[in-house]
Amino acid sequence: MARVLMTGFAPFGGESVNPSWQAVSLVGGRRTDVAAVELPCEFAASLPALRRALEAHRPSLVVCAGQAGGRAEVTPERVAINLIDARIPDNAGAKPVDAPVVAQGPAAYFTTLPVKACVAAIRAAGVPASVSHTAGTYVCNQVFYGLMHLLATEFPGVRGGFVHVPFSPEQVAAASKPEPSLSVDRIADALEALADTALRVTEDLPISAGAEH
């Protein structure tokens, strides 16, 4: 069985690709200890798909990735909140507003990844990175919160978290918009550095200047 489950999302918001899934797929092709799974960018379908992946692969570590257009760095997320407030419809046309991810669930969950150590490792691999304290209120945050709830209630001992990645250059070029971007290869390098660090590090580093997003 794979030790690491990595997930990325299908394209959404009119994009033809999603660099989170492209990079996760690349890592899955590089490594035999990583199972790569694409999640639908749909509020109703994302968490059932994540649960099926957890049941199928029984990993010791879960890294979910998503696209955050406009960010210039790879940003491991520190906290997920129990809120869905969609700015745009998902791929099924749903646009929930002010809804909980889990009814009666805790207000928030913290990641169980050593995010500061992961940022240091990603930077050491030559990829820009910082810790983020907001995963938004769209499907990325829903999956992050849903993952942590599943791990807390049904998969004890499994560690996990979420990381956002920038647009890819092809997305920026196709839209002719002045947004920051990062190549899929370098995003994949960052995800590998993050996973390797999370597998061996349980005590996180003290926060250092410039590590925050």
* DSSP per-residue codes, 123-191: HHTT--B-BBS---SSHHHHHHHHHHHHHHHTSTT-EEEEEEEPBPHHHHHHHT----B--HHHHHHHH
Q: For residues 43 and 86, is the Cβ–Cβ distance under 8 A? A: yes
Q: Is 41 a catalytic residue?
A: no
Q: For residues 143 and 21, is the Cβ–Cβ distance under 8 A? A: no
Q: Is 64 a catalytic residue?
A: no
Catalytic residue among 140, 149, 192, 213: 140
Catalytic residue among 42, 73, 77, 192: 77
Position 24: which residue type? Answer: V
Nearest Cα neighbor of 184 from 5, 2, 28, 80 is 28
Q: Is 77 a catalytic residue?
A: yes
Query: Radius of gyration over alpha carbons of the chain, in Å?
Result: 16
Q: For residues 79 and 161, is the Cβ–Cβ distance under 8 A? A: no
Region of residue 57 (left: phi > 0; alpha: psi -120 to 50; beta: else): alpha
Nearest Cα neighbor of 81 from 59, 99, 107 is 107
Region of residue 198 (left: phi > 0; alpha: psi -120 to 50; beta: else): alpha
Catalytic residue among 41, 118, 149, 164: 164
Query: What residues act catalytically?
Result: 77, 140, 164
